[in-house]
Amino acid sequence: MAVRAVVVGSLVMDLAFMVDVRPGPGDVVIASDFARFRGGKGYNHAVALARMGAQVSMIGAVGRDPYGDAFLAALEREHVDASRVVQLRGTPTAVAVPLITHDGAVGYVQYPGANRLLAAAHCADLPDCDILLLQGEVSAATSCHAARIIRNRGAEVLLNPAPVEELTDKLLEVPTVVSLNQHEARRLLGAGGEVAGVDLARQLHHDGRAAVVTMGAAGAAWCDDDGEGSAPPPPVHATDITAAGASFNAALAISIAEGSSLEQAVRLANAAGAYSSTVVGAEPSLPTRAQVEALLTPA
């Protein structure tokens, strides 16, 4: 039986520019390429989960505009239940401008639009699920409300608190698994740059809450009640890491919901993130389960 997943999160239209360098004050940088992609951490999680075989329901907010219409149509094509995605009047669908350099690194400008208006009332009819995925791009109060509902039903809750500036203590208390990158982990913990990923994961592990810390090309570290460790990703040539984190967390969520150990889940997630980094654009880079598992199969 397929894993049942619910995503409460953001939908963001990415207007992506490929540049040699990101501009400084007063600079004008000529892009070498441009494309428009559907994205946002919530949307990326939902589509990645569906492509990897989960039965997915998405809860989010878009504007009553062409971008909002495009998101609803795309979710239907990806076989994601979008019946709880609301179209709001008077506010646009969220937009971001990723500036991608040729080494695959990316910086963003984002306008949150309708994402900021997703309210607890929009989560009043959450379907039953095996795991709920949350991020930091919608209201922490809304995420916390959804998490408490799902935890009370006995299911897993995975929180990817990005950006960490929006995280509240109440929301951090609710997940069964917290997954974030090492830079976010250091900011959250007030740790110095010398603190290793495993040490960060150990500090984030608390009262039965498992922790995963991603480290880019170095892979990911984990810590839970059964132990701790780290693992590298499969070797790939990265071209765009925009949705690598979303692919990682979707695979992590599916594996956890399937009953895998956290170590096994991290290894599958590493492969998903690695695959995603080899494809330009958020949505095009979200892998299938077969594409992920192929990276874990010796040649």
pLDDT(41) > 70: yes
pLDDT(194) > 90: no
Q: Give residue 80's pLDDT band: very low, low, confident or very high (50, 70, 90).
A: very high
Distance of CA 221 to the CA centre of its chain: 17
Q: Give residue 299's pLDDT band: very low, low, confident or very high (50, 70, 90).
A: low
> What tens digit of pLDDT does each residue of 209-257 get?
999 999 999 999 999 999 999 999 999 999 888 889 999 999 999 999 9
CB atoms within 10 A of CB 30: 7
CATH number of 4-9+41-59+79-85+124-295: 3.40.1190.20
> What tens digit of pLDDT does each residue of 29-39 get?
999 999 898 98
% of the chain beyond a pLDDT of 90 = 80
